[in-house]
Amino acid sequence: MHDIFAPTAPSNPPVIEPADADPTEAGADAGTPRPGLDEASWAYAETYRRERPEAGRARQAAEEMGNVPISRGVATTLTFLARAAHARSVVEVGSGTGVSGLALFAGMVPEGVLTSIDADSEVQRVARAVFREAGVPTNRIRLIAGDALTVMPKLSDAAYDLVFIDADMLDCGEYIEQAQRLLRADGVLVVNNALWHNLVADPANEDDETIVIREALEAVESLDDVWVPALLPVGNGLLVASRRAS
Ligand SMILES: C[S@@+](CC[C@H](N)C(=O)[O-])C[C@H]1O[C@@H](n2cnc3c(N)ncnc32)[C@H](O)[C@@H]1O
């Protein structure tokens, strides 16, 4: 059956003026707001929701250990997505000190279980303490210390409602392939750092991470029968995608 929602190449793609274009220039509609947000709006959105004190302590520990946690805007978005997906089973790649884990627990159903993988058992020890301090029961926490590409293939097919990826971006293509297998129909993929310090959108940049992320974004966008994706300018860029039924 023809899928009327499947994206088709627009014959006349909309022309969007760059954010720094002068709206008073000839051709621009007088009185039409500029597309795009400025720094102040972006910062306002990032800090829109207050964080719990445990998250602040997890951030402090991350800083002391040289670990980079998700931004506040990403935390808010993760909680929202876990809530909207009624997430009961979640896989996280990159536990860190638990900032993202707290955000996921805040949105998951009360009995939901987080399986969180990190190659660094020291940061996971901090994450475990952070979750305990936040009152998360131990039977909701499954922390696995190890390399993600060794651990993920051992997890069950189509058993998870949400997969969050926040680890080595050079492997993000492989993580996304694993997520495709792990997610149930209508499950949600979330990839942090998807705009990688503004470098993904810079056509002149050809760093290894940038190229790998661009290829991963293109692969997800092109798999119409698998993903319904969106690229959100939150934090350092957040790729979100809903998994279609196979
Ligand atoms: C950006 S930090 C995660 C921060 C965490 N999500 C948070 O918000 O608190 C990335 C983490 O990925 C872990 N990592 C990097 N490469 C990995 C791999 N191949 N397998 C598992 N973990 C990995 C690092 O040890 C690090 O703790």
Tens-digit pLDDT profile for residues 120-160 = 999 999 999 999 999 999 999 999 999 999 999 999 999 99
- Work out how many domains the chain is built from and give that number: 1
| Ligand 1 pocket, residue 61 CB under 6 Å | no
User: 130 φ, ψ to 5°?
Assistant: -65, -45
Residue percentage of the chain with pLDDT more than 90:
84
Average pLDDT over residues 54-58: 97
| Ligand 1 pocket, residue 70 CB under 6 Å | yes
Q: Is residue 12 part of a domain?
A: no
Residue span of the structural domain in which 225 resides? 39-243
Q: Is residue 14 part of a domain?
A: no
When the pLDDT of each residue in the chain is averaged and rounded to a whole number, the result is 89
The CATH number for 224's domain is 3.40.50.150
- Cα(193) to ligand 1 centroid in Å equals 12
Q: Is residue 157 part of a domain?
A: yes
Q: What is the pLDDT of residue 11?
A: 33
Q: Is residue 44 part of a domain?
A: yes
CA 175 vs CA 151, 165, 183, 204, 217: distances in Å:
11, 7, 12, 26, 12
Q: What is the pLDDT of residue 37?
A: 83
Q: Is residue 216 part of a domain?
A: yes
Q: What is the pLDDT of residue 33?
A: 61
Q: Is residue 26 part of a domain?
A: no
Q: Is residue 6 part of a domain?
A: no
Whole-angstrom Cα distance, residue 93 to residue 191? Answer: 10
| Ligand 1 pocket, residue 116 CB under 6 Å | no
| Ligand 1 pocket, residue 187 CB under 6 Å | no
Helical segments of the chain, H only: 39-46, 53-65, 72-84, 99-107, 121-133, 148-151, 172-182, 208-222
| 3-state SS assignment for residue 200 | coil
Is 113 a residue whose pLDDT tops 60?
A: yes
- Cα(133) to ligand 1 centroid in Å equals 21
- Beta-bridged to residue 220, according to DSSP, are none
Q: Is residue 25 part of a domain?
A: no
Q: What is the pLDDT of residue 36?
A: 78
Is 82 a residue whose pLDDT tops 50?
A: yes
Atom of ligand 1 nearest to the CA of 99: 9
Is 16 a residue whose pLDDT tops 50?
A: no
Q: What is the pLDDT of residue 194?
A: 98
Tens-digit pLDDT profile for residues 21-41 = 333 333 334 556 666 789 999
Q: What is the pLDDT of residue 3?
A: 33
Q: Judge if ipTM > 0.85.
A: yes
